[in-house]
Structure 1
Amino acid sequence: MELITILIAIFSLFVIIGIGFAARRYGILNGDRVHLISHVLVNVALLAITISSMQVPDTAKTMGIVDSMLLVAGGYYLAAFLISILICQFLPSTPAEKGVFQFMLVFPNTMFMGIPVASAVLGPGSLFYVILFNLPFNFLVFTMGVWLLARGRPGKLDPKVLLSPGLVASFIGLALFLAGYMLPAPVDTGLELIGSATTPLAMLVVGALLATLPAARLAGDWRVYLVTAFRLVIIPVIAFLVLSPFITDRLVLGVAVLLIAMPVAANSVLLSEEYKVDSTLASQGVFLSTLLCLATIPILEYFLF
């Protein structure tokens, strides 16, 4: 039943990608409309889900869960960033492509796919851990992530690029989390509803961007396959080998490794489109890694857990 649930969760994303693909091919979504959707997602929906996902109850702090998960997540992002630098030193690419490849290596789809997959594999009790693991993601994607992408644009990098609405939302969410303040239910529910639009609309954008490519280029070139191999297999295995001697709680270990094994974050496409770098390359990475995780996630689950 676990495998069926995982497959349904992943295939549902491909259905939406297919709809976006068809909408672009039949002229429903043109380039301007795709960019507008991306702009709304980056500046509205992602902000809402960033703040909402940081609404973690105070009771967790007394259980010692928050500190351990934040330490694991922070350690992962630091290690993944260093790995991405090493890999991209030997990967032939333009400055813009290098930023996209590094983003793909560092940021997995921990929220949009992480929640349904973790629930299927590890049970509903894992979802709280998933939210905790996502706290650094929400902050780093609008700082490190934006920097990786924007520095590849022509000309000097404008520091104002980093002062994005997403970064402001991250600080707001983090301040609320540290203060232990829970938003009123109507506000939190409203933010969750807006944020829930992110996944389907992001997949529509992926499909629409892929529709501009010839069929032979949908999955990208060998570089996309190499980065995908690191994203889905090599980095998660390294994480398991490093973490397993130190983490005795199997649920914490399982959540961390499973989330690290997620495909490329859909944010790569949205932010690449927003900052006018290679969004097509990002779409190829999302498409290929999401497709191949149909095999890699069950295999990792079987051998590692």
Structure 2
Amino acid sequence: MDLLTIIVALVSLFCIIGIGFAARKYGILNGNRVHLISHILVSVSLPALSITSLQVPETAKTMGIVDHMLVVAIAYYLAALVIGILLFRFIPCAPDEKGVFQFMLVFPNSMFMGIPVALAVLGPGSLFYVILFNVPFYFLVFTLGVWLLARGRPGKIDPKVLLSPGLVAAIVGLVLFMMQYTIPAPVEYGLDLVGSATTPLAMLVVGAMLATLPLQQLAGDWRVYLVAALRLLVFPIVAFLVLSPFVTDRLLLGTAVLLIAMPVAANTVLLCEEYNVDAKLGSQGVFISTVLCLVTIPVLALLFL
């Protein structure tokens, strides 16, 4: 394991956040442009990425991996959701803040950062595992995640917000995988190009959102650090202790633990912006947890992977 490679991969994402921060400060990105980029990411780039990431061949081994990884991922999301609901019944926060905190606790940055970090820590063999872990992510982030965020807004939730392009794309991608239908090469290449823009654009949006915060607000408050501690340390350690007696595939175990240890999903900012809830709080959570993961991920990798 090359710790320098891990750190370089993490720092490179911070460089993009810095570019977005500077672009907002110098007027290159204003509020309307940031919102437009967020809308493109949620409606175009993320759906393209979710389809192309499932274009993998089916074998007896891969189908067994599929079953096991999906069970692990779904179990994690259910446990995190229950903890988030119970925890924020006792922690003081405004209605629109509660959904954002719960979203940050449940959803890790398992795709944007998960892929480059898993490749650096575990090697190219982990990529298929990363993709599988993210299948429930795409289903849940555009249903459960949207519900958590949207329920904090005034008025009733419009059911149409749950039928998002991201959810439709996840369904299409999974159906194509089960049918083992290979997308024609020119179409797949085009989708892959669009999907590859997701990570840099998402980091730019995070940086641009952070630039709107007063300097004293970048650090957030104790609730953000509580979420970061649970997300970066408690959840992955508990996952390792619970799964290690039952999961014999060490690459599957290592990938699952590593992805659970990722910082708050960058989608938090995109979806907060899309559904008009507290995007600044989401930006604080993404920023703080991503800064702290520069320490926690290498430590966890040395201890458990």
TM-score, normalised to structure 2, is: 0.97
Q: Is the 2:209–2:280 Cα contact (8 Å) retained in structure 1?
A: yes
Aligned to 2:175: 175
Give the residue type in structure 2 aligned to 1:147. W
Distance 1:168 1:135 in 2: 12
Aligned to 1:163: 163
Partner of 1:269: 269
Give CA-to-partner distance per residue, 1:245-301, whole Å, 9 cap, x none. Answer: 111111111000000000111111101100111111111111111110010011111
Residues 208-247 of structure 1, C-alpha deviation per residue, up to 9 Å, x if partnerless?
A: 1111111111121111011000010011111111111111
- What SS does the aligned partner of 1:89 have? coil
* CA shift for structure 1 position 77: 0.9
Tell me how many residue pairs correspond in the alignment. Answer: 305
Partner deviation per Cα, 1:187-211 (whole Å, 9 max, x = no partner): 1221111011111111111111111
| Residue type at the aligned position of 1:188 | E
Residue identity over aligned pairs, in percent, reads: 74
For structure 1, the 5+ residue unaligned runs are none
RMSD (Å) for aligned C-alpha atoms: 1.3
For 2:127 and 2:60, locate their aligned partners in 1 and report how far apart those are by CA, in whole Å. 13
Query: What's 2:12 paired with?
Result: 12
Alignment of 1:141 with 2:141, yes or no, is yes
- Larger mean Cα displacement after TM superposition, 207-216 or 168-177: 168-177
* 2:84 is aligned with 1:84: yes
Q: Would you say 1:65 and 2:65 are equivalent positions?
A: yes
Residue pair 2:108, 2:260 contacting (<8 A) in 1 also: yes
Contact kept? 2:9, 2:120, Cα under 8 Å: no
Q: Distance in 2 between matches of 1:13 and 1:25?
A: 19
Q: What's 2:249 paired with? A: 249
- Distance change >3 Å, CA 95–CA 4, structure 1 → 2: same
Distance 2:150 2:63 in 1: 39
Question: Deviation at 1:56?
Answer: 2.6
Alignment of 1:275-290 (within 5 A): 275-290=275-290
Gaps of 5+ in 2: none
CA contact (8 A) 2:210 2:218 kept: yes
Runs of 4+ off more than 4 Å:
60-63
Greater CA deviation, 172-181 or 224-233? Answer: 172-181
Specify the alignment match of 2:293 in structure 1: 293
Q: Confirm or deny that 1:103 pairs with 2:103.
A: yes
Instruction: Tell me the secondary structure at the aligned position of residue 143 of structure 2.
Output: helix
State whether residues 104 and 282 of structure 1, in contact with CA within 8 Å, keep that contact through their aligned partners in structure 2: yes
The secondary structure found in structure 1 opposite 2:29 is coil
Kept after mapping to 1: 8 A contact 2:96/2:149: yes
Match of 2:227 in 1: 227
Distance 2:79 2:7 in 1: 29
Letter in 2 for 1:51: I
Q: Which residue of 2 aligns with 1:47?
A: 47
Cα separation, 2, equivalents of 1:157 and 1:60:
42
Q: Which moved more, 1:77-86 or 1:61-70?
A: 61-70
- Local SS of the residue matching 1:276: coil
SS of residue in 1 equivalent to 2:91? coil
Offset at residue 63 of structure 1 (A): 5.4
AA of the residue aligned to 1:221: D
Q: Aligned runs of 1:30-41 on 2, under 5 Å?
A: 30-41=30-41
Structure 2 vs 1, CA of residues 277 and 60 (structure 1 numbering), >3 Å: closer, same or farther?
farther
Q: Is the 8 A contact 1:53 1:135 kept in 2?
A: no
User: What SS does the corresponding residue of 1:298 show, helix, strand or coil?
Assistant: helix
**Contact preservation (8 Å) 1:114, 1:130:** yes
Q: Which residue identity does 2:209 align to in structure 1? A: L
Q: Distance in 2 between matches of 1:28 and 1:62?
A: 46
Taking structure 1 as reference, are residues 40 and 60 closer, same or farther at Cα in structure 2, changes over 3 Å only? farther
Maintained 8 Å contact 2:21/2:204:
yes
Task: Give the CA deviation at 1:179.
Answer: 1.6
Q: Which stretch of structure 1 is more off in the superposition, 57-66 or 14-23?
A: 57-66
State the one-letter code of the partner of 2:252.
V
1:197 aligns with 2:210: no
Counterparts of 1:206 and 1:223 in 2: how far apart (Å)? 19
Structure 1 length as normaliser, TM-score?
0.97
Q: Is the 8 A contact 1:60 1:66 kept in 2?
A: no
Query: 2:212 corresponds to which letter in structure 1?
Result: T
